[in-house]
Structure 1
Amino acid sequence: MSILREINPNVKSIRESEQEIIDRRAGEINAEIEQGLVKHYKEVLDVSFGDAHGMGLKPLTFVRQVLAACIYPSLLLDDSLPLDVRERAQRFLEDCDGGSIGSYPPMIGVRKAWLSVSEFISRRDGIVSNPDNIFITSGSQHGLILLLKLLVQSEGALRTGVLIPVPCYCSFKNALTAQGAVAVPYYLCEEEGWTVQIKELRKALHAARGHCNPMVLYIINPGNPSGHVQSKASIEEVIRFAAEERLFLMADEVYQSFVYGNGREFYSYKKVLSEMGSPYSSNVELASFHTISKGVMGECGLRTGYVELVNIDPEVMRYTSSLFATNLCVPVVGQIALDVMADPPQPGQPSYALYAQQVQSLQRTLMNNVQRTEEVLSGLPGITCQPIMGGIFAFACLHLSQAAIKHAKEKKLEPDLLYCLRLLEDMGLCASPGCEFGQKEGTYHIRICLASPEATMEDVLQRLKSFHLRFIKEFP
Structure 2
Amino acid sequence: MPFARTALSHRRFFSKTASLSRLDFSLAHGTRLAHTMRPLTPSDLNPAVIDVQYAVRGELAIKAEALRVQLENKFHGLPFERIINSNIGNPQQKGLDQPPITFGRQVAALMEYPPLAEIVKDIWPADVLARAKELRDEIGSVGAYSHSKGVPLIRKSVAKFIEERDGYPVDPEDIFLTGGASAGVSLLLNMLITPTKSGVLIPIPQYPLYSAALAQFSGIPLPYHLSEVDGWSTSLHEIRAAIEKAEKDGAHPRALVIINPGNPTGALLDWATMESIVHLCEEHSIVILADEVYQSNLHSPDTHPFHSFKQVVRRLNSPVPLFSFHSISKGVTGECGRRGGYFECTNISDEVRALIYKMVSVGLCPPLSGQIGVDCMVRPPQPGDPSYPLWKTETDCTHAALAQRTKLMAQRLNALPGISCVTSPGALYLFPKVELPDAALKEAERLGKTPDTLYSLELLDETGICVVPGSGFGQKDGEHHYRLTCLCPGVEEYVDALENFHLLFMKKYGAIN
Q: Aligned partner of 1:343: which letter?
A: R
Among residues 128, 131, 143, which one is paired with 1:85 in the alignment?
A: 128
Q: Aligned partner of 2:425: which letter?
A: M
- CA deviations over 1:359-410 (Å, ceiling 9, x no partner): 0000000110111111211211110011211100000000111122122112
1:382 and 1:399 in contact (8 A); partners too: yes
Among residues 249, 254, 261, which one is paired with 1:222 in the alignment?
A: 261
- CA deviations over 1:3-50 (Å, ceiling 9, x no partner): 444422212322474852112221221222212212221111110000
- CA deviations over 1:256-294 (Å, ceiling 9, x no partner): 0012246110000000111123xx2xx100000000001
Aligned equivalents of 1:16, 1:378: Cα separation in 2: 28
SS in 2 for 1:400: coil
Shift of the 435–29 alpha-carbon distance from structure 1 to 2, 3 Å rule, reads same
Q: Does 2:410 match 1:370?
A: no
Aligned equivalents of 2:57, 2:90: Cα separation in 1: 15
2:191 corresponds in structure 1 to: 150
SS in 2 for 1:123: helix
Q: Does 2:252 match 1:213?
A: yes
Q: Aligned partner of 1:150: which letter?
A: M
Aligned equivalents of 1:200, 1:327: Cα separation in 2: 37
Among residues 294, 308, 329, which one is paired with 1:268 in the alignment?
A: 308
Q: Structure 1 length normalisation: TM-score? A: 0.95
Q: Does 2:83 match 1:44?
A: yes
Aligned equivalents of 1:24, 1:325: Cα separation in 2: 34
Aligned equivalents of 1:122, 1:24: Cα separation in 2: 42
SS in 1 for 2:149: coil
Aligned equivalents of 2:348, 2:501: Cα separation in 1: 51
Aligned equivalents of 2:61, 2:200: Cα separation in 1: 29
Structure 2 counterparts to residues 439-458 of structure 1, below 5 A: 439-453=475-489, 455=490, 457-458=491-492
1:229 and 1:259 in contact (8 A); partners too: no
- CA deviations over 1:44-101 (Å, ceiling 9, x no partner): 11100001001111101111111111111112222211111111000000011xx321
- CA deviations over 1:149-183 (Å, ceiling 9, x no partner): 22111x3xx32100000001222211111111101
Q: Structure 2 length normalisation: TM-score? A: 0.88
Among residues 424, 427, 430, which one is paired with 1:394 in the alignment?
A: 430
2:357 corresponds in structure 1 to: 321
1:187 and 1:200 in contact (8 A); partners too: yes
Q: Does 2:101 match 1:60?
A: yes
SS in 2 for 1:298: coil
Among residues 242, 253, 260, which one is paired with 1:204 in the alignment?
A: 242
Shift of the 369–159 alpha-carbon distance from structure 1 to 2, 3 Å rule, reads same
1:185 corresponds in structure 2 to: 223
Q: Aligned partner of 2:228: which letter?
A: E
- Give the 4+ runs in structure 1 shifted more than 6 A: none
Shift of the 266–237 alpha-carbon distance from structure 1 to 2, 3 Å rule, reads same
- Deviation, 1:321, is 1.6
1:468 corresponds in structure 2 to: 502
1:238 corresponds in structure 2 to: 277
1:132 corresponds in structure 2 to: 173
Across the aligned residues of Structure 1 and Structure 2, the Cα RMSD in angstroms comes to 1.4
- Deviation, 1:451, is 2.1
- CA deviations over 1:106-136 (Å, ceiling 9, x no partner): 1121122111111100110011111111100
1:19 and 1:436 in contact (8 A); partners too: no
1:95 corresponds in structure 2 to: 138
- CA deviations over 1:166-205 (Å, ceiling 9, x no partner): 0012222111111111011111111111111111101111
2:298 corresponds in structure 1 to: 259
Aligned equivalents of 1:18, 1:401: Cα separation in 2: 25
Larger Rg: 2
SS in 2 for 1:129: coil
Percent identity over the alignment? 36
Q: Aligned partner of 1:311: which letter?
A: N
Q: Does 2:452 match 1:424?
A: no
Shift of the 16–173 alpha-carbon distance from structure 1 to 2, 3 Å rule, reads closer
Aligned equivalents of 1:76, 1:349: Cα separation in 2: 18
1:114 and 1:134 in contact (8 A); partners too: yes
- Deviation, 1:348, is 0.8
Count of aligned pairs between the two proteins:
465
SS in 1 for 2:233: coil
2:70 and 2:76 in contact (8 A); partners too: yes
Q: Which moved more, 1:257-266 or 1:187-196?
A: 257-266
Q: Which moved more, 1:38-47 or 1:298-307?
A: 38-47
Among residues 105, 111, 116, which one is paired with 2:157 in the alignment?
A: 116
Aligned equivalents of 1:467, 1:75: Cα separation in 2: 50
Can you give the 5+ residue segments of structure 1 that lack an aligned partner in the other structure? none
- CA deviations over 1:289-327 (Å, ceiling 9, x no partner): 000001110000001100001001222222122112212
SS in 2 for 1:73: coil
1:291 and 1:304 in contact (8 A); partners too: yes
SS in 2 for 1:95: helix
Q: Aligned partner of 1:265: which letter?
A: P
Q: Does 2:469 match 1:433?
A: yes
Aligned equivalents of 2:262, 2:54: Cα separation in 1: 24
Q: Does 2:213 match 1:175?
A: yes
Aligned equivalents of 1:19, 1:409: Cα separation in 2: 23
- CA deviations over 1:448-470 (Å, ceiling 9, x no partner): 101233x2x22321110110011
1:101 and 1:332 in contact (8 A); partners too: yes
Q: Aligned partner of 2:189: which letter?
A: L
Aligned equivalents of 1:138, 1:15: Cα separation in 2: 21
